[in-house]
A and B are shown apart, each in its own frame.
Chain A
Amino acid sequence: NAGVMQNPRHLVRRRGQEARLRCSPMKGHSHVYWYRQLPEEGLKFMVYLQKENIIDESGMPKERFSAEFPKEGPSILRIQQVVRGDSAAYFCASSSALTPDYEQYFGPGTRLTVT
């Protein structure tokens, strides 16, 4: 049973370009969460999605950031017109409604560097 998969593991973008980060949840998991970790800091919640629905996007910046979790395929975190401040590690986690306490399983992260 593969764990949460994220790709790419490392992504370098120039200012103004778009970044697309992908997350495939664990098999059987229908809940996906995105978190951002700035250097030397803890993780900050961004968005929580279930299949085809955004449940909680209270941590998402209002502009340039969007997320989706389509019926088929991975969840996508999209950052348009990236700026240097977007450089961070972006982690995806997944859970199942059947998991006690909705325990979340984390992927290895995508490290985004904006030059």
Chain B
Amino acid sequence: SQQGEEDPQALSIQEGENATMNCSYKTSINNLQWYRQNSGRGLVHLILIRSNEREKHSGRLRVTLDTSKKSSSLLITASRAADTASYFCATAGGGNKLTFGTGTQLKVEL
């Protein structure tokens, strides 16, 4: 499997429900970041969590990081139709380049 794999690949929920996406990676990291990409558009940075942090919140977003398991999760609470997008995790290792996962496609239905 590749560095930075998201699970599930696709997720469909009702508006108001919570959405949880997971990301696994292989090598050691300095930080892990989550991005959102609307169909055919660029990436929007959501949140960054450093390797010495375990949990971080930003609005309706909650990110956890477990470096012992090399995994992270992104929770979106009280989802809205506007949250429909693809979500990617990206890891930053020793260099400055980001290694992206394959993404989770989230669909929030009314």
Contacts and interface: CB of A to CB of B under 8 A. Distances in A.
A77 to B, nearest CB: 15
A101 B48 CA distance: 9
Interface of B: 4, 30-31, 33, 35, 40-45, 48, 50, 88, 90, 92, 95-103
A44 B92 CA distance: 13
A101 B100 contact: no
Contacts of B101: 42
Contacts of A25: none
A35 B88 CA distance: 14
Interface of A: 31, 33, 35, 41-45, 48, 55-56, 58-59, 91, 93, 95, 101-109, 111
14 contacts: A41-B102, A43-B100, A45-B97, A48-B95, A58-B97, A59-B97, A93-B98, A101-B30, A101-B48, A102-B92, A104-B98, A105-B45, A106-B42, A108-B42
Contacts of A101: 30-31, 48, 50, 92
A31 B100 CA distance: 19
A31 B96 contact: yes
Contacts of B102: 41-42
